[in-house]
Amino acid sequence: MSLPIDQRSLQLARRYLQVANGLLIPLYLLVAAALYGAFIYAPTEREMGDVQRIFYFHMGTAWNSFLTFFAVFVAGIAYLITRKSKWDKLGAACAEVGMVFTTIVMVTGSIWAKPIWNTWWAWGDPRLMSVMVLWLMYAAYFILRSSLPEGDKKYKFSAVFGIIAFLDVPIVWMSIRWWRTIHPVVITSSGAELAAEMLHALMVSLIAMTVLCVTLVALRTAQRLNSSLADEVFQQLDQERVSRQ
Amino acid sequence: MNQVALIWILAEKDLKVEYRSPQAFLNTVFFALLILVIFNFAFDPGSQATREATPGILWVALLFPGIIQLNRSFQAEREEGTLYGLILSPTDRGVLFLGKFIANWAFLVVVDFLVLGAFVIFYNFSFSVQMLWVAWIIILASVGFAAVGTVFAAMLSSIRTREVLLPILLFPIIIPIILAAVNGTQEILILEEAQFLDRWLQLLIAFDVIFVAAGFLLFDYVVAD
Amino acid sequence: MSDPSNSLVLLSRVTKIFGLVRAVLDVDLEVCRGDFLAIFGPNGAGKTTLLRMVSGLTQPTSGSIQFESNDDHSGRDRVGYVSHQSFLYNELTGLENLVFYGRLYGIGKARGRAEEMLVKMGLQDARYQRVGTYSRGMKQRLTLARALLHEPDLLLLDEPYTGLDQHGSRIFTEVLKGLKEEGRTVLLITHNLGAGLELCGQIVIQNKGELVFQASRGQVDASDFERLYFQVVEGGRR
């Protein structure tokens, strides 16, 4: 007995896996380089000491959590126009990876803030606050998804929320900045001039984290495509069993 | 038919329904008043610190009743299936959005003004020109709140857990509105020198424009089943 | 029946799947102008889903529903739909409800048209009362008036007899007979085999999503129909 499987979907999942596979070796090299850059190559920061080294990963993940948010937005528009579920799979995968990265940004930020600002969570820092709002939006996105059964409705609503949330990000950013500049600023920007070595380490880390992000998104999209194909097969088997009885 | 006239016909219908079943309106106002009173118990009403927090208290008291109204606005359209009646008509979905949004906005503004009056009395402010500025902030903030809220409420009206989901989706999005409204109100009532008021008003207007437009364009995807 | 110029709606291989449930399966159906078609079937047969797809409220998972092309009509206002729900505002009066919908459908003299429909349905005395105060039968007639307001090409009726008492059913049947005489095209879902047979020109039985029986009224003996119905439905179950 052969079951009809959506060959194009299967092909697409395969292509995503190929992308992830192809990136694997560059990813290992880049992560090794980033680790070397952050822990050995870059000099120790004079005032903050070794804890500053976390900043290379912090920045790398922060950039990617914004990037994935943009990808969710684009995938959402693509879904609403084409109504092809592959776009929803991609959007959801981006949101998942984005949520993990945003969490890492907040955790690394806290680890850094404790010795430097003497507090785990700096409510006064506009960047930290903006990332927190981003995290809340990702969380809301998944809570919405989990309340809907698979199907066009779920994909549409997720897309609409993703689009609205992305449009909101610049306004959130502006409003939090203004809010903090009006109130007495407890914490000044840490944007001291970076030594050339530090900048190199940062660039390598940014690239490594971006490749990691793309690899994870490709893997998760492939998994989501495959798991929906598997669901279809189970469904057909179920129906065949019922009709035989 | 003229699209603008259609928007008004839709909004008028909603307001007429609200007017004839005033229970919901009264409940919403009462709930907001309760929040104001509870805050009076929660914080020492005489202290300077509480006085400085009053703008925040006002906006929390306006926020929660707003959520209730948004949830109700589509729930009522589900009960007799009137939402399907609207969807089946040849009316443009963007027009449906604007009608609902305007009705929600008008409802919120009326509730909010009543609550503002109570706020002035409970927290010992005076009915001065300053309050007109606060009223202006309420009008602008309600636009953005009602615009995003109308889209989300329409989306969630078919989901069982909508009562919880609406604030979960809405609150992160409207953080700029809350910041602008609270800080703008603070400038007017507490600081008494409105240095950055313009900025906050501009932020509210930007939010309003972006999300009324987004709602107009996206509504089609959230009302159809 | 197969005269192509007379065809109004053509359903071909229409299927609707909700999750794991195949609500409507491979339905082929042609509805011609002037047909009064009754759809019978047990609960859960997919009748309502089929009607919702014809109305445009739900999109089929696969297959197509094509209205005979007629350029001066956009898709949505060709159908009048009486569903399980009334689509009426309880806080508005009968007249206000009809005028509101009339305007949404872009009817020029919405008020006049609404008054006309109220008279036709025997509701002129109740036009200034809120719909919330109407009896079930009155509400059902107003629902029908709402569905007919914009002169749809096709009227969809989903269990219009639910909740009506004997008296209400009789009045409603009279109204439907009137529609039949006007030559309207109607799709009627009902459990009321007697009323359905009395009105319809075509009979369809749907079971487990599929159309399992199709005949014109003349081919079916009314006294024997109940036996036939159970035979068809039970037969499909085995």
- Confidence band (pLDDT; 50, 70, 90) for A3? low
Q: Which amino acid is at C199?
A: L
Report the residue of C15, C16, C20 to disrupt the A interface, i.e. the one with the largest count of A CBs within 10 Å: C20
Reported as a single tens digit per residue, the pLDDT across B164-214 is 999 999 999 999 999 999 999 998 888 867 778 889 999 999 999 999 999
- State mean pLDDT over A13-23: 94
The whole-angstrom distance between C95's CA and the closest CA on chain A is 35
Chain C CB within 8 Å of residue A149 CB: yes
Chain C CB within 8 Å of residue B13 CB: yes
Which residues 217-236 of A have a C-beta within 8 angstroms of C?
A: 235
Q: Are B29 and B111 in contact (CB under 8 A)?
A: yes
The whole-angstrom distance between C238's CA and the closest CA on chain A is 9
- Residue B193: exposed, middle, or buried by beta-carbon count in 10 A (0-12, 13-18, 19+)? exposed
Q: Give the C-alpha distances (Å, rounded to integers) separating C142 from C77, C145, C180.
A: 18, 5, 18
The whole-angstrom distance between C76's CA and the closest CA on chain B is 6
Within 8 A of B207 by CB-CB distance, chain A residues are: 171
Nearest residue of chain A to residue B201 (CA atoms): A175
- State mean pLDDT over C146-159: 91
C89 and C119, same domain (yes or no) = yes
Chain A CB within 8 Å of residue B107 CB: no
Regarding an ipTM greater than 0.90, the answer is yes
Reported as a single tens digit per residue, the pLDDT across A189-243 is 555 567 788 888 889 999 999 999 999 999 999 999 999 999 888 878 887 787 7
Alpha carbon distance B139, B25 (integer Å): 18
Q: Is residue A5 part of a domain?
A: no
Within 8 A of C59 by CB-CB distance, chain A residues are: 152
The SS3 of residue C211 is: strand
Phi-psi region of A132 (alpha: psi -120 to 50; beta: other; left: phi over 0): alpha
Q: Is residue A174 part of a domain?
A: yes
Alpha carbon distance A3, B124 (integer Å): 75
pLDDT at B225 over 70: no
C161 and C232, same domain (yes or no) = yes
* Residue C45, domain CATH: 3.40.50.300
Within 8 A of B86 by CB-CB distance, chain C residues are: 104
Other beta carbons within 10 angstroms of residue C25's beta carbon come to: 17
C28 and C146, same domain (yes or no) = no
Residue-level pLDDT at C2: 46
Structure tokens given for B53: 């927090």
When comparing pLDDT for C105 and C222, which is higher?
Answer: C105
* Residue A64, domain CATH: 1.20.120
Neighbours of chain A (3+ CB pairs under 8 A): B, C
Structure tokens given for B97: 């959005």
Nearest residue of chain C to residue B225 (CA atoms): C58
Instruction: Tell me the CA end-to-end span of chain B in Å, nearest whole number.
Output: 26
Q: Does the distance separating the beta carbons of C19 and A239 come in below 8 Å?
A: no
Q: Does the distance separating the beta carbons of A151 and C19 come in below 8 Å?
A: yes
Reported as a single tens digit per residue, the pLDDT across A117-171 is 788 887 767 788 888 999 999 999 999 999 998 888 999 999 999 999 999 999 9
Phi, psi of C34 (to 5 degrees): 85, -5
Alpha carbon distance A157, B93 (integer Å): 16
Q: Which amino acid is at B201?
A: L
The whole-angstrom distance between C232's CA and the closest CA on chain B is 33
- Residue A148: exposed, middle, or buried by beta-carbon count in 10 A (0-12, 13-18, 19+)? middle
Reported as a single tens digit per residue, the pLDDT across A72-99 is 999 999 999 999 999 999 999 999 999 9
Residue-level pLDDT at A117: 79
Q: Are A109 and A58 in contact (CB under 8 A)?
A: yes
Q: Which amino acid is at C65?
A: I
Residue-level pLDDT at B135: 95
C139 and C232, same domain (yes or no) = no
Q: Are A175 and B180 in contact (CB under 8 A)?
A: yes
* Selection from C76, C73, C52 nearest residue C157 by Cα: C52
The whole-angstrom distance between C227's CA and the closest CA on chain B is 36
Within 8 A of A149 by CB-CB distance, chain C residues are: 19
Tell me what the pLDDT averaged over chain B comes to: 92
- Confidence band (pLDDT; 50, 70, 90) for A114? confident
Neighbours of chain C (3+ CB pairs under 8 A): A, B
pLDDT at A186 over 50: no
Chain C CB within 8 Å of residue A239 CB: yes
Kindly give the interhelix angle for B162-173 and A152-182, rounded to the nearest 10 degrees.
Answer: 40
C11 and C57, same domain (yes or no) = yes
List the beta strands (DSSP E) in chain B: none
Within 8 A of C91 by CB-CB distance, chain B residues are: 16-17, 20-21
Structure tokens given for B137: 């902030």
What is the residue range of C101's domain? 83-151
**Number of independent structural domains in chain A:** 1
Residue-level pLDDT at B4: 92
| Residues above pLDDT 90, as percent of chain B | 70
Residue-level pLDDT at C77: 75
Q: Is residue A7 part of a domain?
A: no
* Selection from B144, B156, C56 nearest residue A158 by Cα: B156
Q: Are C190 and C158 in contact (CB under 8 A)?
A: no
Structure tokens given for C76: 């949505």
Report the residue of A6, A150, A235 to disrupt the C interface, i.e. the one with the largest count of C CBs within 10 Å: A235
Structure tokens given for C84: 């399980």
Q: Is residue A210 part of a domain?
A: yes
Q: Does the distance separating the beta carbons of A150 and C20 come in below 8 Å?
A: no
Residue-level pLDDT at C158: 93
**Number of independent structural domains in chain C:** 2
Structure tokens given for C48: 């309502």
* Selection from B120, B6, B143 nearest residue B61 by Cα: B120
Query: CB-side exposure of A71: number of CA atoms within 13 Å?
Result: 25
- Confidence band (pLDDT; 50, 70, 90) for C73? very low
Phi, psi of C85 (to 5 degrees): -95, 155
Query: CB-side exposure of B29: number of CA atoms within 13 Å?
Result: 17
For residue B52, the Cα-to-chain-centroid distance in whole angstroms is 23
When comparing pLDDT for A21 and A45, which is higher?
Answer: A21
What is the residue range of B195's domain? 3-223
Chain C CB within 8 Å of residue B88 CB: yes
Q: Is residue A243 part of a domain?
A: no
Q: Where are the alpha helices (DSSP H) in chain C?
A: 47-55, 94-104, 110-120, 136-148, 166-181, 193-199, 225-237
Location of structure tokens 């395969």: A14
Reported as a single tens digit per residue, the pLDDT across B32-67 is 999 999 988 888 877 888 888 899 999 999 999 899
Tell me what the pLDDT averaged over chain A comes to: 87
Phi, psi of C79 (to 5 degrees): -115, 135
Strand order in the sheet with C21-32: C21-32, C7-18, C62-67
Structure tokens given for A120: 């785990």
pLDDT at C1 over 50: no
Alpha carbon distance C237, C230 (integer Å): 10
Q: Is residue C116 part of a domain?
A: yes
- Spatial CB neighbours of A169, under 8 Å, sequence gap ≥ 6: A66, A69, A130, A134
Residue-level pLDDT at B171: 96
**Number of independent structural domains in chain B:** 1
* Selection from A103, A107, A85 nearest residue A95 by Cα: A103
Q: What angle do CA B20, B105, B35 make, to 5 degrees?
A: 85
Structure tokens given for B129: 């020109």
Reported as a single tens digit per residue, the pLDDT across B61-79 is 999 989 999 999 998 898 8
What is the residue range of A96's domain? 17-42+50-226
C51 and C163, same domain (yes or no) = yes
With residue A28 as reference, give the H or E element that holds it.
helix A7-36
CA dihedral B91, B97, B103, B107 (to 10 degrees): 160
- DSSP one-letter string for B104-162: HHHHHHHHHHHHHHHHHHHTT---SHHHHHHHHHHHHHHHHHHHHHHHHHHHHTTSTTH
